[in-house]
Amino acid sequence: MLQLLITGGPVIWLLSLFSLLGLTVASYKVWQLFGQLKLNDTAAPRAFKLLEEGRKPEALMLINGHQNPSAKALSRCLQLFSNKYLSLQQTRDEAYRGARLQAEQLSSHLRILEVIATLAPLLGLLGTVLGMIEAFRAMEAAGEHVNPAILSGGIWQALLTTAAGLIVAIPISVLHSWLERCTERQIQSIQNTIEYAFTLNSQTNSQVKGPAHSAAKEASELA
């Protein structure tokens, strides 16, 4: 490996740094999404089931302090519903503002992987071009006493950077696509959570207002 680094020159060194950076960022994102934020947790669906059964205190206990983005979005919605000083539109705006902050957290650092996956093949190609230039320059300097080994060795060293660029770019590109897809699915889940929370809240308010309106109408008729 050390010999390859020496042979490939600065381009190989830079690609090695890209590889290390990409693996570090990818490892951090996997830990963040599935360790810290617990994307695979089912707290929000379980809380919705409790809410549908009218067990709001138990639902709040289940999602209170939870790190899952959907659970946090649902918890924030329930807190906003309890604020009597906010209109329905203000409540919706605040819920989506919090969702945008969560989306920004979920997608953080993914651009680094995208840049590495884009630049690595280009750097490999640049190294190949520079290597070919050097090989032909050496062949020209040899004049009539051209040794085929000079050209073949130069081409081998030049193509090494292209291979290194592809070796770095392919796994980083796969990791970026997978992490981006996980993020997109979670953002969509947050949006669905907020919309369903508002739907359940509207249904609950209608059920509360219905009996109250009937009671008021009966009282007016008796009077």
pLDDT digits (tens, 9 = 90+) for 197-213: 999 888 877 665 545 44
Residue-wise burial string across 191-220, b where 16 or more C-beta atoms lie within 10 A, e elsewhere: eebbebbbebbeeeeeeeeeeeeeeeeeee
Closest CA to 108 of 55, 171, 31, 56: 31
pLDDT of residue 74: 92
Q: Kindly report the pTM of this predicted structure.
A: 0.80
The DSSP secondary-structure symbol of 9 reads T
Answer for the pair 120, 173: CB distance below 8 angstroms, yes or no.
no
Do residues 47 and 73 lie in contact, with contact meaning Cβ atoms separated by under 8 Å? no
Q: 185 or 142, which is more confident?
A: 185
Tell me the pLDDT tens digit for each residue of 77-132: 998 988 888 888 999 999 999 999 999 999 999 999 999 999 999 999 988 888 88
